[in-house]
Structure 1
């Protein structure tokens, strides 16, 4: 289903005044309680739904933050995947609910992941860019647990803002579109990086760097 990128960006930016707090690692239990985020695009409607369902819960703040973050990440990812799929050499996943494949580029299937530059990474941004394969391996080792963890082809978009508010860049859809367009226009499958993170299995991956000046 096609969504207006401008509308998604406008709605995502309504979330920015609220602190980005998880309060806990992502887990299957909280995921099940907040799966309504997939069907709500308007931020004000999201706030209403959270209040209606959880206002009387003792852990209301935890669920509130969790739902806001899942909604924000989902709709940003939805917009990014839509941008990729606008290119003729990109095909969306046959099964929209397939959590391991978002789209394929020239026949190679990928799970897309927009990630903020990790605080715990041991290199500054300029060195990390020079050593991109090392950050990819770090992501595969440290990112995503429970139902999200897998060792499949991944295409990462890594966000970095000098003020440390990397997460806010997920709302900058028009800015991200320019970066993705530039990457896709020059896309060459031979430049994708190969990794052997499991025995007898090779995966391909790459990072699209989205660095705010």
Structure 2
């Protein structure tokens, strides 16, 4: 068993999840890895009647792995630990939802995770040599962007925790209770990394291009506004400008505006419906369009949230606990005996072919 442990541990350290997932002890390794805090492993040793008197904290994971503890024992212990942690979060859950619903409008601040430092260096540190100008820009521009970024990150973090708990509360899910790379839970004993997302703008661009339309929706909106002399603030950023254009054209009483906006939404609806009917194309797109710094080929469960009539407000669905809980539980109840071969996914990333297991669950607000 020690050689098996070292093989799997080396694969884990090197992000070689193919080796782990295809090994008969792969799930056993990952489940124990999620329990790898010393105090938790000591509790497991006591439960499994494993002698650890002469075992140091750093050796506990390897030592317990080599005992080949029953999977049922580990699964029940994981559920016990999860429930202890869940009780604490549940006490604050309703209050957390109250706070999440206080946000009516948020954006990413114009940049995304891991881009904050790059953005500041590029646009403020290196671009400005006058201290007075820098202080004015920080006060007038950066403070608002950082605030928006922090609010967006806070919202995404806590809604993701709440959504993970919905999955982990289900009887067919074994949670990953500790920090284990690429695994949030085991669904019917199959490891998945949960990704909560929205209908991606990049995929919408791709489907629009296939239809011979301008890739970016805002280009189409601007062109219509110019042709029909509908004013809009050209100094706004793209997100703010998009929202103004949508509202101005929607509320314009002219027949041309109403016809245009109806066709605009019909295009969106058709693209969304095509994707719902053929989710494999989107699944592959998700994998093939990862940023290089964050690339991996882990098994993924994509939860895709879509507000069909107000696509830009799909983010609000992340806090709709009632809808999410109902749809997620219905899906898990309806798929209790899963042939995971149907989720086998092949994709190409930078010239290399990869294989993994992935699925999409769409939650659509009509």
Aligned CA-pair RMSD: 2.5
What residue in structure 1 maps to residue 193 of structure 2?
A: 111
Counterpart check, 1:182 vs 2:330: yes
CA distance in 1, matches of 2:353, 2:310: 42
The alignment covers a number of residue pairs equal to: 187
TM-score (norm 2): 0.47
Pairwise CA distance, 1:186:
1.0
Pairwise CA distance, 1:22:
3.5
Residue pair 1:155, 1:207 contacting (<8 A) in 2 also:
yes
What residue in structure 1 maps to residue 114 of structure 2?
A: 27
CA distance in 2, matches of 1:65, 1:58: 11
TM-score (norm 1): 0.77
**Matched ranges for 1:1-213 at <5 A:** 1-2=85-86, 3-4=89-90, 5-15=93-103, 17-27=104-114, 59-96=142-179, 98-121=180-203, 122=207, 124-143=271-290, 146=293, 148-161=294-307, 162-164=309-311, 165-187=313-335, 188-190=337-339, 192-197=342-347, 201-213=354-366
> Would you tell me which structure has more strand in proportion to its own residues?
1
With over 3 angstroms needed to count, the CA separation of the structure-2 counterparts of 1:88 and 1:202, relative to structure 1, is same
Residue pair 2:109, 2:147 contacting (<8 A) in 1 also:
no
Residue pair 1:76, 1:173 contacting (<8 A) in 2 also:
no
> Would you tell me which structure has more helix in proportion to its own residues?
2
| Aligned partner of residue 281 in structure 2, secondary structure | helix
**Rg comparison, structure with higher value:** 2
Tell which deviates more after alignment, 195-204 or 101-110: 195-204
Q: Which has the higher contact order (CA 8 A, sep 6+)?
A: 1
Gaps (5+ residues) in structure 1? 31-54
Pairwise CA distance, 1:106:
1.5
Runs of 4+ in 1 over 4 A off after TM superposition: 55-58, 198-201
